[in-house]
Amino acid sequence: MHIKQYLFSFFILVSFQMLSQEEVNVDFFVVDDTTENVVSTAQIYLKSGKYIGTTSEEGKVTFRGPENKSFQIIVFSYEYQIYEQVVNMTNDTASFTIRLKKLSEELSEVFIENYQKKVFNLKRFKDVEGTAIYAGKKTEVVLVDQIVGNLASNNARQVMSQVVGLNIYDVGDGGLQLSVGGRGLDPNRTANFNTRQNGYDISADVLGYPESYYTPTAEALAEIQVIRGAASLQYGTQFGGLINFKLKEPVKNKEIEFVTRNTVGSFGLKTNFSSLSGTKGKFSYYTFFNYKEGDGYRANSNFDSKNFYGYIAYDFSKKTKLSFEATYLNYLAKQSGGLSDVQFLEDPSQSNRTRNWFEVNWKLLALKFKHKISEKTDFSLNLFALDAHRKSLGFRVNQRFSEPNPFDTDEQDQNGNFLQERDLLVGVFRNWGAETRWLTRYKAFSKDAVLLVGSKIYNANNTSQQGPGSKGSDADFDFYSSEFPQYRNQSEFKYPNFNASVFAENIFKFSDYFSLTPGVRYEYIKTISEGTYSPELIEDNNRFERNILLVGLGASYKPTNYFESYANISQNYRSVTFSDIRVTSPSFTVAEDITDEKGYTADIGVRGKYRKFVSYDANLFGLLYEGKIGTNFEDRVGWVRDNIGTAVVYGLESLIDWNLQETFWKNSNYKLNIFINGAITDSKYTKSRFNGVAGKKVEFIPLVNIKSGLGFGYKNLIGSLQYTYLSEQFTDVTNAPYKSDNETTVAGAIPSYDILDLSFAYTYKMFKFETGINNLLNRAYFTRRATGYPGPGIITSDPRAYYFTMQLKF
Amino acid sequence: MIKNSFLIFLFSLWFASCATDTEDQCTTDDFDRGAMLTNWAENIIIPAYENYVDKLEDLKSDLTAFSDAPNQTNLNQARTSWLGAYVAWQKVALFQIGKAETERLRDYSNTYPLDAVGLENNIETGSYDLSLSTQLDKQGFPALDYLLNGVENTDLEILNVYNSTTSYTNYLLAVSTRLEEMALSVLQDWNTSYKSTFIADECSSATASVDKLTNDFIFNFEKHIRVAKIGNPIGYFTNIPIPEAVEAFYKKDVSKDLFVVAIQSSKDFFSGKHFNTNTEGISLKSYLIDLNIEAGGRSLSTVILEKMDKALATANGLESNFYNQIIADRSAFVTMRSDLHSVVEVLKTNMIAALKIKADFNDTDGD
């Protein structure tokens, strides 16, 4: 494709057009309408969404724009009503005084929600925030405060309902693990996204094992930011892009704010979330503790989780800020194993695995330094470290059979003793990283330009060990290698990986409306694995070094009134991971010559608002994969991960929200909106080195993926009704269909399913009550066929479930 | 806007270039897979299982007669019908699909070498549950082989054992009852529901009938004919023979008979030969002919049949007692293995590539 060349000639044309025009300076002063006091940190935007600036200590912002043009500006500051005015750029050095009206003390939930949404709509069009560039990319932001849903158990279907085309594993583990994918990427543990919390990595090993065992609790989140494939240049090379969980920030106007939320729900769910937040002078802090326990809906399952988080920040000045955060998570879950199709149809709540356990321990530290070098230049430094492990123990398959089958019974003798030792897998993850970013605003061809330059180093020292566990049934995470020396799957590996990268992106503005953002990323990746595997302890040392250069280009066109169109194309890359290289389950092996995946992602889309009440965000996308790694039924024992071939994935994604209240009533006591979030995705393997694969569809891609809902409210009562529908999706490269009589394999399509969720929230003074019903239609369904843990087999999703949360805030 | 439409145009070009055709992707050729499945089920598999069940019923009644009156005549009769059933087993061993797969018919019927010590322990304690996987190598045809031929060195001594205690007779009957019950349940499943399920699934995917049974057929040829019957006992990779690992180790002089029948059954399945007659129906052979598949300028089906015939000829030239010949002349078996391997090669590469069937197992390096 020659998109770059086309765009380049296009850019020259535009820049000629825009070169000659007189510009004038205009000053804005923002004051409180009643007290006449200066309002600092008020933000001023053009109605097109262009950010002009934030008021200084003197309440002043200067705007430079073309002479004799008029602009509609919007001014916003927390605690004040949003203000709009038309400004004529008649003469130089004119000044305007803007008087903001205070919000009243008693505001209904419906009002606050509307207000937040307006503020959000202002901010979402920013090209640059802090030291990150968003121009020309498909970005999505979830405002977690606005979600009416089951936050206590991180119900991803509700929490991420505004993110388009996500394929989510609905597993009833209290939301301990988030598994989302999109655009044909395997959802398992969100491994195809670069997953971050407050901007730093939280997965086990960004390159070697990008799986997210820790997911921040939704109750502590402010926003979830998603940037699709084009994020590859700034964040990491993954095809999925970036998911960043932005936790709540310290409250600004209080020294101490206490929030406690207690939830009870179906299947023994009990959670507590308690947080403290505040600011005193230059110090600010936010901390929470989150406890979760539940029995799960199936037999032989339960979980118990403790999560702690602390954040403290010190503002040296308006320009310099240092913050430190620490996260701790520990949980133990009993897993009920997978089911065959026959078993699922018989009774989805049954379990044939009575002694499978999973334990996770995650400790994260991060130190962040932000400094405004000048009005035009920002700098940030992130240092982060992870010390973690996860242990999984359980009976998977009966290795005495010549062709082990994932649904074999876990045999016991007459006395009830188990005959087989369990499989134990222990992964230890120790790594640290540093990321610096430097962003400056300058003039190129006398037009605004923004340059971002950054670099990241990442050092991992991880180990994994697999071997026989005990024959017992307790959560005994010790190896029993001397008792069972003949155990088939034994291995011990070290993975000292190192990765360094530098990246740059630049926004070139060719007019007030049009910009191009080229970018480049260079990566040096060193992957090493050293160790032995079983049962003869064969040595297997691999060293794999590569240098990768990725490029991309984004274009953005933002004329007026909340409209933007954008297009981008970038290269992506996914390095082979540990889970690709090493055996993780007896029903799962790996091809020896497996290599990295390479490809492109492209988006073209529009987003904006139609007459204040319909907001839309729609785009086409395409992905081209070379050497896509997939799960391939290549061994009688089970699955093999291997480079399957070249695949293309393409489709349409759209999110449309219609504000009925704004359209028909204009009464701010009411809230009524409907949204439809839909993706249509198709795919194809264009070539493959395996027989019978070329021409088949890519796994995990439902043709239709819809989440649609109704939001409603009156004063302090708000509610939501959400309908989710996903059409059938295949789970293997040969497109094995769904078979109701299957009792031997984990291959087979996942049938289509539809789910209805109903939720309410009511606020009364310092109390907030939240309640709802998930899976109101009580569908028996599943979203996942696990090839290894926590199955193998069908992992069923929860039937109808209730929850009730009481929040106290003071 | 001109700018926008330009970009949209570019994108659509790219988009169109990778758009898929929307045709039904059930299979990629016009061959009637359903008709082949019907021939397999009605004329080959079900008759083979019927024959196997008949032979096991004969065996059961002869073993009952032997336990009632343990004498030389009844012992000889029991051995004859044991061999008859064992031969019949070789003709169904390649059809481990449906209930045979879920019930693990092969593992429970013919896991060898036998754990004779464990078997004796079972008899001694009288406490055993043959349905457990820990009991795989203490039952089936190898267990009967041991009980009828190997418990003592001479027939007289063997008859003494059965005349002096009932625990051996009990075990003998328990093993043969289990063999018969498992076979019967597989046959009944074919005759009630599985036949129509099997025939209806005529598409192409990892779990479709043609793909699966073709893989089963090759898997059986590779792992249960080449590896188990030849590779393991001669210690092909280790160069250390384990002659005790031959099939029918205690009877010894029938290893070749069983082996030849196993290869012949594979050839008959490939050709689509009806079980009870010499008629050939729709098969992998006719599938390859229909698609005009060639290898080295010749019809691939001819090449495959030639290789199978060569393996059969080599097999027929072996001695009936593999145990003795492995000790005396291992090289004859190395040649045998190489003839079998050349069949596996052509099936696993040329044939399944032509039929667009994805292999569902790896090359073995265990024999």
Does A615 have pLDDT greater than 70?
yes
CB pair distance less than 8 Å for A682 and B207: no
User: What is the per-residue burial (b if ≥16 Cβ within 10 Å, else e) of A41-75?
Assistant: ebbbbbebbbbbeebeeebebebebeeeeebebbb
> Domain check: are B41 and B170 in the same one?
yes
> Domain check: are B179 and B221 in the same one?
no
Residue B219 in any domain: the answer is yes
Secondary structure of residue B280 in the 3-state scheme: strand
Higher-confidence position of A10 and A245: A245
The residue-averaged pLDDT of B148-169 equals 94
Contacts of B10 in chain A (CB under 8 A): 1, 3, 6
Q: Cis peptide before A406, with omega less than 30 degrees from 0?
A: no
**Mean pLDDT comparison of A200-209, A500-509, A688-697, B346-355, highest-scoring range:** A500-509
Displacement of CA A705 from its chain's centroid (Å): 18
Closest chain B C-alpha to A746 CA, distance in angstroms: 10
- Give the pLDDT band (50/70/90) at residue A587: very low
- Give the pLDDT band (50/70/90) at residue B12: very low
What pLDDT score does A7 carry? 42
- Give the pLDDT band (50/70/90) at residue A641: low
Dist. CA A162–CA A182, nearest whole Å: 13
Is B223 within 8 Å of chain A by CB?
yes
- Give the pLDDT band (50/70/90) at residue B2: very low
**Of B142, B174, B201, which marks where a domain is finished?**
B201
Give percent above pLDDT 90 in chain A: 46
What pLDDT score does A630 carry? 63
Residue B29 in any domain: the answer is no
Numbers of helices and strands, H then E, in chain A: 6, 42
Q: Tell me the per-residue pLDDT of B175-214, one tens digit each, with 9 for 90 and over.
A: 999 999 999 999 999 999 999 999 999 988 888 999 999 9
**Of B201, B229, B254, which marks where a domain is finished?**
B201
CB pair distance less than 8 Å for A622 and B18: yes
Does A91 have pLDDT greater than 80?
no
Residue B118 in any domain: the answer is yes
| pTM (2 d.p.) | 0.86
What pLDDT score does B367 carry? 44
- Cα Rg of chain A (Å, integer): 27
> Domain check: are B263 and B321 in the same one?
yes
CB pair distance less than 8 Å for A691 and B101: no
Q: Tell me the C-alpha to C-alpha distance, in Å, between residue A107 and each of A112, A252, A583, B210.
A: 7, 19, 57, 68
Is the separation of the CB atoms in B217 and B266 below 8 Å?
A: yes
Minimal Cβ distance to A3: which of B10, B134, B204: B10
The residue-averaged pLDDT of A444-461 equals 91
CB pair distance less than 8 Å for B129 and A414: yes
Q: Tell me the per-residue pLDDT of A658-692, one tens digit each, with 9 for 90 and over.
A: 988 888 877 778 889 999 999 999 999 998 878 88
Contacts of A557 in chain B (CB under 8 A): 1, 3-4
Contacts of A743 in chain B (CB under 8 A): 102
Dist. CA A329–CA A717, nearest whole Å: 34
Dist. CA A661–CA A111, nearest whole Å: 12
**Of B184, B201, B218, which marks where a domain is finished?**
B201
Q: Which of A396, A683, A734, A744 to mutate to test the interface with B (most CBs of B within 10 A)?
A: A734
The residue-averaged pLDDT of A363-375 equals 94
Contacts of B132 in chain A (CB under 8 A): 411, 413, 419
> Domain check: are B216 and B191 in the same one?
no
Residue B289 in any domain: the answer is yes
Residue A22's contacts (CB-CB under 8 Å, 6 or more residues apart) are: A66, A67
Residues within 8 A of B (CB atoms), A 558-587 only: 559, 565, 567
Minimal Cβ distance to A633: which of B20, B129, B206: B206
Strands A180-182, A194-197: parallel, antiparallel or unpaired by DSSP? Answer: unpaired
> Domain check: are B168 and B51 in the same one?
yes
Closest chain B C-alpha to A16 CA, distance in angstroms: 15
Residue B17 in any domain: the answer is no
Token pair recorded at residue A94: 């004119």
Closest chain A C-alpha to B134 CA, distance in angstroms: 7
Does B13 have pLDDT greater than 70?
no
Dist. CA A285–CA A270, nearest whole Å: 27
Closest chain A C-alpha to B231 CA, distance in angstroms: 16
Contacts of B360 in chain A (CB under 8 A): 633-636
Q: Tell me the C-alpha to C-alpha distance, in Å, between residue A715 and each of A108, A672, B289.
A: 5, 12, 76
Residues within 8 A of A (CB atoms), B 109-128 only: 111, 127
> Domain check: are B89 and B170 in the same one?
yes
> Domain check: are B241 and B351 in the same one?
yes
Contacts of B3 in chain A (CB under 8 A): 10, 14, 514, 557
Residue A202: name the closest of A222, A211, A458 by CA.
Answer: A211
Minimal Cβ distance to A691: which of B3, B104, B358: B358
- Give the pLDDT band (50/70/90) at residue B5: very low
> Domain check: are B158 and B209 in the same one?
no
Minimal Cβ distance to B18: which of A411, A650, A737: A650
Residues within 8 A of B (CB atoms), A 370-399 only: 398
The residue-averaged pLDDT of A703-723 equals 93
ipTM of this model?
0.84
Token pair recorded at residue A112: 């606050």
Give percent above pLDDT 90 in chain B: 82
Residue B5 in any domain: the answer is no
User: What is the per-residue burial (b if ≥16 Cβ within 10 Å, else e) of B65-89?
Assistant: bbbeebeeebbebbbebbbbbbbbb
> Domain check: are B315 and B190 in the same one?
no
Residue B64 in any domain: the answer is yes
> Domain check: are B171 and B227 in the same one?
no
Dist. CA A419–CA A729, nearest whole Å: 37
CB pair distance less than 8 Å for A692 and B8: no
Displacement of CA A277 from its chain's centroid (Å): 24
B193: CATH: 1.20.1420.20
**Mean pLDDT comparison of A161-165, A667-671, B87-91, highest-scoring range:** B87-91
Is B69 within 8 Å of chain A by CB?
no
What pLDDT score does A396 carry? 81
| Structural domain span for residue B254 | 203-367
Dist. CA A584–CA A423, nearest whole Å: 10
Is the separation of the CB atoms in A749 and A737 below 8 Å?
A: yes
Q: Tell me the per-residue pLDDT of B110-131, one tens digit each, with 9 for 90 and over.
A: 999 999 999 999 999 998 999 9
Dist. CA A250–CA A257, nearest whole Å: 9
> Domain check: are B292 and B316 in the same one?
yes
Secondary structure of residue B214 in the 3-state scheme: helix
CB pair distance less than 8 Å for A636 and B3: no
Q: Tell me the per-residue pLDDT of B270-322, one tens digit each, with 9 for 90 and over.
A: 999 999 999 999 999 999 999 999 988 899 999 999 999 999 999 999 999 99
Displacement of CA B197 from its chain's centroid (Å): 21
Dist. CA B40–CA A690, nearest whole Å: 26
Q: Where are the alpha helices (DSSP H) in chain B?
A: 2-17, 33-39, 46-68, 72-92, 99-102, 105-109, 116-125, 140-145, 155-164, 167-189, 195-200, 209-219, 232-234, 255-271, 284-290, 300-316, 322-328, 330-346, 352-354
> Domain check: are B156 and B257 in the same one?
no
Residue A142: name the closest of A127, A169, A161 by CA.
Answer: A161
> What's the structural domain count of chain B?
2
Does A401 have pLDDT greater than 90?
no
Residue B12 in any domain: the answer is no
